[in-house]
Structure 1
Amino acid sequence: MALALLPLATACGDEEPVEKPGPVEPQADAGGRDASTATPDASCADATCDGGTTVQEPPDAGPAEGGATDAGAVDGGAPDAGPDVPLPLPVDLRAPSELLVRGDDFTVLRVGVERREGFTGPVTLAIRGLPSEVFVADRWVSADTNAAALVVSVSGRVGPRTRLDATLVATAEGRSTSRPLRMLVAGPSFTLDPTFPVAPLGWTDGSRFFDVLADGKLLTAYPIASASWPGPQGFVLERHHADGIPDLTFGMLGSVTHTRPAVSRMLAFKTLPTGGSLVAGAAADCHDGDNATPCTILVSRHLATGMLDTSFGDEGVASTRFNAASRSLVKLLVDEVGRVSVALTYYDPTQSGPYVYAVQRWEADGRPVAGFGTEGRAT
């Protein structure tokens, strides 16, 4: 038996008939962003893309105005070299970088002049940059001279602790060289202290020694006056306050007398940090002034009270002998551990030279320093 076949779409009855696509009409652009143009086309760089057509902008033809344009030509003129600068003077100056000068006084600046690079001529030295209160005369240095001295004078109107920055200059043949120089102005060398009396001590002799203690007091020593030969025997110690008034707490109303016949002349005096003192004197065998005769030198150490320090030497006194007369130059020295030295220069005709330098050293207790010369004595 034959069955008639019906179309499937008709049999189901659910689907609409499928229409055949017709020809596509071009659509107008609604202004939205087309996905195909989301990424700019590289071919449109530096150009305007309108509807797929690339419009190239014309190249810049230069300024719009009709003025002439610079064609880029290079100026052929020579560069400006500026004014001519002379070469430095081939001279080296040797001088201190700082100079101390006292107010109302003068000082000397010594300058070394070293010529080089074949220059052998004279130079002129000067100091520039100073105020009118400081006077320095220029100094001409001849060709055969390698050093000179400049005298610097400072007026009293320049106060102490003033710093002046200047320049030391050497000139010759239109050229110059220089180096910095600083001047430090101090107070006058000698200024009277108005708190100290003009003549408080009444000293009339020329053989007096004095020194200043750490607290500002004055300690003085002088020989005992005597009309007998060979002269004074012993000495006197006196102490004064910083204003010149006698210190009545020292000894007997400010003085201590040491009657010692062995001492005919005082040679040296020195104060100690403890307030005590050292006294060097010549014994009676030195009075003749004969260098050929050995001379005994006595050194005594004293306490701050003026009395002998019996812990030194023989009851406060140590001695040594040299071929020296009482006119010899004598110096007392003390080191940081208390060792005492006496140094002197004297004439000895038996030596190769006209003068002899001699030193005697003692330990703090007055014993000769072992290992130094012979029994602490060396010449």
Structure 2
Amino acid sequence: MAPRPRKKRNAGLPANLYTVGKGYYRYRRPDTGTWHGMGNDRAKAVAAANQLNGRLMTGADLVADVMGDSVSLNGFLDYYEAEVLPPRQLAQATLDLYAVRLRQIRAALGAQDIGQITIGMVSTFLDGLTPRASNQARAYLVDVFNYAAAKGLVADNPPEATIPRIDNKTRKRHTVKGVRKIYAEAEPWLQNAIDLALLTAQRREDILAMRFDDIRDGALHVAQHKTRRASDAGWIRLPMTPQLKSLVARCRDEVPSPFLIHRKPERRVASGRHWTQVDNRYLTRAFKAARDAANPYPDWSPAQQPGFHELRALSLHLYKKAGKDGQKLAGHSTRKMTKNYEADHEEVVWTEAVADLDLSNITG
């Protein structure tokens, strides 16, 4: 990736000195990234910038000064999102999370020259996030800077020198009694989603991707978005047990949809999705609304309230309690498994798992 030359309006100015508007100058401290007004007198601004650079510039700044060009973090993130992420074939939910964190990174550090970003700048940014968000953003930045180092744009990896935050998970687990109350407040399509989560122990995005035409040869076939490219365990064949057959029949209603979980929206919006398809965020919000209406856990704080995702943990717990093995349903393997290379050919090796949890005592 070729370095991006300095803008013409800033050509001839000392490093870290920039023009803004008509003849106004600003100085960016190379150690903290903070901006400081320098007035509209060019000679005074240049003299002050040279003096500050003499005190504040690091070796990386001197190299940039000699080379006369630089690459902003925003510029490199454009490359990272266009060239690095696509080949990884990440699940849409993961890409959505990347998008959120990279937007935050761009807003805080994007304008900085990537070679001049310091540990202090990264640390200040990360300190402004929650522990979980901070650790996610830190991991992404470490990866970004590894690629930047491979391109010769940075000499080290400042994000890697920061310390991950301790993330004590405060969200509690669902109880059967609590789920019953939430279920009573849920719309029919959401009830179907809850039942599918409990019966199949699948992730939110995999439940929403289930289609009626995935049912063939007497089984529902699930290609788990998160694990299907890393393990053979991610390709699951669920025989049509009486419990699953009954649930699928209930999913068939008057709304013509290819998806098991669907709803008729108030109005159709052009989104690239089928008009009846439910997306991850809508499901999360709908479940939260039903949970808040039911108030099943009145003694727990808002941060402790479990969401739709936690239904999976309850499902696996109930399978274990019933003496059944939920490991195959979850797509977990007991040993290190080779990547399912068949996924890129005509035939895929499916792992059979039985979804036969008795829901009658849970959601009725």
TM-score, scaled relative to structure 2 = 0.19
User: Which structure dedicates a bigger proportion of its chain to strand?
Assistant: 1
User: Which structure dedicates a bigger proportion of its chain to helix?
Assistant: 2
The structure with more radius of gyration: 1
TM-score, scaled relative to structure 1 = 0.19
